Amino acid sequence: MARDPFISVNLSASQPGRRVSQQDIVEQLSQEIQAGRLRPATRLPPVRVLEHQLGISKNTVQAAYDELVARGLLESRFRQGVFVATPAAGLPVVPRSSATPAQLTALDMPPYRPIVRERLELSNVFIDPELLPHAQLAECFRSVLASPGLPTFYDAQGHPGLREVIAERLRARGIDAQADDVIVTSGSQQALDIVARSLTHKVVATEDPVYFLARQLFINLGCRLAPLRLDPFARVDFGAWEATLAEARPSLVYLISSYQNPTGYSYSSAELEQVLRLSERYGFAILEDDWGSDMLSCSEYRLTLRAMGGPNVLYVNSFTKKLLPSLRLGYLLCSEPTRDALVAAKRVATLGNAALLEATLHEFISRGYYDTHLRRIHTELDQRYHTCLELLREWMPEGVRFSTPGGGPTLWVDLPPRVCTLELCERLERRGVYLERAGGHFYAEPHLNGFRIGFAFVSSERLEQGLRALSEELAVLLPAPRSSPAHLAAEQWLAEPAAQIRN
């Protein structure tokens, strides 16, 4: 049977330079017990421990404990140790004092809900865990642990080998990158954090809707935000963007260039070029989040703002969703003028990240496992994407529209304004199907009335189950309109072109 842990006690000699005496132990422990600082049933250090710590004989310690037992302050339990006794009648029990609680400001965001694999989540942005390379990652982790070069210390900027292979991959995708300009981060969220906390002028413009945890992060760091309206069913209205930029004068514009979260929208090269022109005209820096471009199948890479705009564009990417969420690894590509400030911001927040995980990812990429993994998930995600589109086209009622991002992990489904998405979500939850409440992605009243479908997270069978439930609930909330007599007459008239000619 495991013994209770014992509490450490601080005992000192009553006469400086002398050893702790039996009387010292008795008096000081008596004071601690009677003051309530040593609680009943607390185990005290074994005799041998105090003998070692105080440099006195075990007989001195044992004699002190025996005296305290005789006074009813301690009790000895066979083969368990010496414990503070339950107070005898008449001995006051001193209540434990309580500290003043910290005054904290709660963020205006939904409570954290852990991902449960068994739940049928239709809006999840992650990839199905069944598609992730658990065995290869485990092999790389074992290899790193067995290596004579096992990292002992962390590098505040990130594992040097990992930074080098990241830079090499970026150069192959048309981005001029050096390892010295790569900062390894805990996912893309830490990259956004160190940029935002380093800003001198804290005014940030983002897409609307926007990845809502980025928006909450910027707000929490004291940034003033400006919305840039984005509609996945239309090209970017740069006239409206320019009016917002001219008024807000942000120091930073944050954009997700490929498979935007939550809409799935990807910018064309012409739109990226227009963003760069606006940057030059209004003097704002660009923070490009390119988390989704690795999920583009049938293509080597997509143009990025960093490739087109050069080193002044801060570029963020992540391995989290594509490889293994629990790794929490991403990176920020900066440049020499910004590097020191960004590394310092990371050090202040975390000192450094887990070097063992960084070394494991370095091993994984260096062995070629990452490229093999990407090719495999491209095939699977394409199949799920086309299955999703086929089911939506077949089952969605008139008036429902959905984006066609061409791949990736998600798309956006938009409903007619008369459908209450909150009621829809509640009805689906009663059937075990869960959709994200998308309101948190918008700045004010949403100009879209829909939600994200994460077809990468669920198998084709579960996707079909979820979309069938969605279509059945929409059939209740969005019944087909009944034709009025006048409407029927108009339909008949349109169907008779000869009658139209005669009239």
**Confidence label for 496 from pLDDT (cuts 50, 70 and 90):** very low
Torsions phi, psi for 450 (to 5 deg): -160, -150
**pLDDT for 88:** 54
Average pLDDT rounded to a whole number, residues 26-45: 91
In a domain, 115, yes or no: no
- Residues 397-406: b if buried by 16+ CB within 10 A, e if exposed: eeebebbebe
% of residues, the chain, pLDDT over 70: 92
Q: Tell whether 443 and 422 lie within a shared domain.
A: yes
In a domain, 500, yes or no: no
For residue 79, list its beta bridge partners.
Answer: none
Provide DSSP, 344-399. HHHHHHHSS--HHHHHHHHHHHHTTHHHHHHHHHHHHHHHHHHHHHHHHHHHPPTT
In a domain, 419, yes or no: yes
**Confidence label for 300 from pLDDT (cuts 50, 70 and 90):** low
Tokens of 185: 């981060």
Q: Tell whether 403 and 350 lie within a shared domain.
A: no
Residue 495 has pLDDT above 80, yes or no: no
β-pairing verdict for 401-402 and 411-414: antiparallel
CA–CA separation, 178 vs 306, rounded Å?
Answer: 13
Q: Tell whether 159 and 179 lie within a shared domain.
A: yes
Q: Tell whether 361 and 378 lie within a shared domain.
A: no
In a domain, 412, yes or no: yes
Residue 483 has pLDDT above 70, yes or no: no
Q: Number of structural domains, the chain?
A: 3
Q: Tell whether 215 and 352 lie within a shared domain.
A: yes
**pLDDT for 117:** 74
In a domain, 333, yes or no: yes
Which of 105, 178, 157 lies closest to 336, judged by CA? Answer: 178
Measure Cα distances from 55 to 12, 17, 45, 181 in Å.
12, 13, 14, 55
Residue 174 has pLDDT above 80, yes or no: yes
**Confidence label for 292 from pLDDT (cuts 50, 70 and 90):** confident
Output the domain CATH number for residue 416. 3.90.1150.10
Residue 429 has pLDDT above 50, yes or no: yes
Which distant-in-sequence residues (6+ apart) come within 8 Å of 323 by Cβ?
A: 132, 133, 137, 329, 361, 364, 370, 373
Q: Where are the alpha helices (DSSP H) in 35-57?
A: 47-54
β-pairing verdict for 81-84 and 74-77: antiparallel
326 class by beta-carbon count within 10 Å (0-12 exposed, 13-18 middle, 19+ buried)? exposed
Residue 97 has pLDDT above 70, yes or no: no
**pLDDT for 341:** 97
Mean pLDDT of all residues in the chain? 90
Q: Tell whether 185 and 148 lie within a shared domain.
A: yes
**pLDDT for 96:** 62
Q: Tell whether 414 and 437 lie within a shared domain.
A: yes
Tokens of 88: 């005898």
**pLDDT for 501:** 34
pLDDT digits (tens, 9 = 90+) for 217-267: 999 999 999 999 999 999 999 999 999 999 999 999 999 999 999 999 999
Q: How many CB atoms lie within 10 A of CB 74?
A: 22
Residue 489 has pLDDT above 80, yes or no: no
pLDDT digits (tens, 9 = 90+) for 361-393: 999 999 999 999 999 999 999 999 999 999 999
**pLDDT for 91:** 54
**pLDDT for 486:** 39
Q: Which residue has the higher pLDDT, 323 or 167?
A: 167
pLDDT digits (tens, 9 = 90+) for 386-411: 999 999 999 999 999 999 998 889 99
CA–CA separation, 347 vs 444, rounded Å?
Answer: 35
Last residue of a domain, one of 344, 369, 394: 369
Output the domain CATH number for residue 213. 3.40.640.10
In a domain, 4, yes or no: no
CA–CA separation, 491 vs 499, rounded Å?
Answer: 13
Q: Tell whether 204 and 352 lie within a shared domain.
A: yes
CA–CA separation, 182 vs 24, rounded Å?
Answer: 59
Per the CB < 8 A criterion, the answer to whether 49 and 56 are in contact is no
Q: Tell whether 345 and 379 lie within a shared domain.
A: no
Average pLDDT rounded to a whole number, residues 196-219: 96
Q: What does the DSSP 8-state code read for residue 258?
A: S
% of residues, the chain, pLDDT over 90: 76
Q: Tell whether 305 and 356 lie within a shared domain.
A: yes
In a domain, 278, yes or no: yes
**Confidence label for 1 from pLDDT (cuts 50, 70 and 90):** low
Output the domain CATH number for residue 75. 1.10.10.10
Which of 189, 196, 177, 201 lies closest to 335, judged by CA? Answer: 177
**Confidence label for 216 from pLDDT (cuts 50, 70 and 90):** very high
Q: Tell whether 282 and 348 lie within a shared domain.
A: yes
Tokens of 282: 């209004």
**Confidence label for 114 from pLDDT (cuts 50, 70 and 90):** confident
Which of 166, 218, 219, 211 lies closest to 192, judged by CA? Answer: 218
Domain encompassing residue 45: 22-84
**Confidence label for 207 from pLDDT (cuts 50, 70 and 90):** very high
pLDDT digits (tens, 9 = 90+) for 160-170: 999 999 999 99
Residue 424 has pLDDT above 70, yes or no: yes
Average pLDDT rounded to a whole number, residues 111-122: 83
Which distant-in-sequence residues (6+ apart) come within 8 Å of 434 by Cβ?
A: 119, 120, 121, 122, 123, 425, 428
**pLDDT for 293:** 80
Q: Which residue has the higher pLDDT, 408 or 304?
A: 304
Write down the residue that tokens 């227009």 correspond to: 274
Tokens of 249: 């004068």
Range in 93-107, 244-258, 426-440 with the lowest mean pLDDT: 93-107
**Confidence label for 92 from pLDDT (cuts 50, 70 and 90):** low
Displacement of CA 28 from its chain's centroid (Å): 50
In a domain, 482, yes or no: no
Average pLDDT rounded to a whole number, residues 465-487: 78
pLDDT digits (tens, 9 = 90+) for 434-465: 999 999 999 999 999 999 999 999 999 999 99
Q: Tell whether 378 and 419 lie within a shared domain.
A: yes
Last residue of a domain, one of 369, 386, 416: 369
Last residue of a domain, one of 351, 369, 387: 369
Range in 96-100, 342-346, 392-396 with the lowest mean pLDDT: 96-100
